[in-house]
Structure 1
């Protein structure tokens, strides 16, 4: 099997486990959000933006999902790795507007696609706060089509 290659954004492989499947043997709808979360989180963690010991390694790690929308195209019916292709449609002052596709590893099967908006928060006030210049540099490769 070939691996999905993309012209914009990033692709992370994420495992589907047996307990992610529902009684019908398909990936439960709520698990897609978890798979997208893990893919985006891993990408940022690989670049030093994560949590260690319960504390953010960067101010930009302190953010929350504001919006989430997904359209399902076909069910995932087995365990194993899948691909999550994601990119930034826009990086605003305090928001990050992601688009994503959940696909087979080669990209031939698109299981779902959607949108997710994160807001960077000030930990003291829990109000929106601007992304740092450092985050903007890291995020540059995610900006795309």
Structure 2
């Protein structure tokens, strides 16, 4: 479920989704377990794309772009998340190629003042029959365009990254 009805922080590019941290996401020290960040990022990305018609429901994909695999996930932890409740996940696309995409993301406090973690996530769209890279559809490209970070003035998108 998307939190679109909840006032989202204004950002210059990308999107911010509030995602709940549950008790079972915490480790024995009472902080968000490191492995849960990838899950929470997925829970932020999923409603964004689903609200735009790209989802997985009822055992079927609504668009071919749902069939993709994570190629790389990197994260740097800054300040621990120390309890349950919402966290703001700001995500955007740094690159959207023929068959691949690279997200950048930040986990922040809901007020945006505390940076908890930041990183990158690269994905590759796959052909379901061959499991080989294949091109994104026009639908996927249209949604991705809403997430692309603009390049600095005077540079092409890839030069500014």
TM-score range, shorter chain: over 0.9
- Assess if the C-alpha contact under 8 Å between 2:8 and 2:16 holds in 1: no
- d(CA) in 2 for partners of 1:4, 1:29: 25
Name the structure 2 match of 1:53: 58
5+ residue gaps, structure 1, are: none
1:94-124 Cα shifts (integer Å, max 9, x gaps): 0010000000112101100000001101001
5+ residue gaps, structure 2, are: 1-6, 151-161
How many residues are aligned here?
A: 144
Name the structure 1 match of 2:44: 39
Cα distance, 1:3 vs. partner?
A: 5.0
Report 1:78-89 matches (<5 A).
Answer: 78-89=83-94
Alignment TM-score, normalising by the size of structure 2: 0.87
- Relative contact order (alpha carbons < 8 A, sep ≥ 6): 1 or 2 greater? 1
Report the 3-state secondary structure (helix = DSSP H, G, I; strand = E; otherwise coil) of the residue aligned with 2:73: strand
Cα distance, 1:4 vs. partner?
A: 2.7
- d(CA) in 2 for partners of 1:128, 1:47: 23
- d(CA) in 2 for partners of 1:74, 1:56: 36
115-124 vs 46-55, which moves further:
46-55
- d(CA) in 2 for partners of 1:55, 1:119: 19
- d(CA) in 1 for partners of 2:46, 2:112: 21
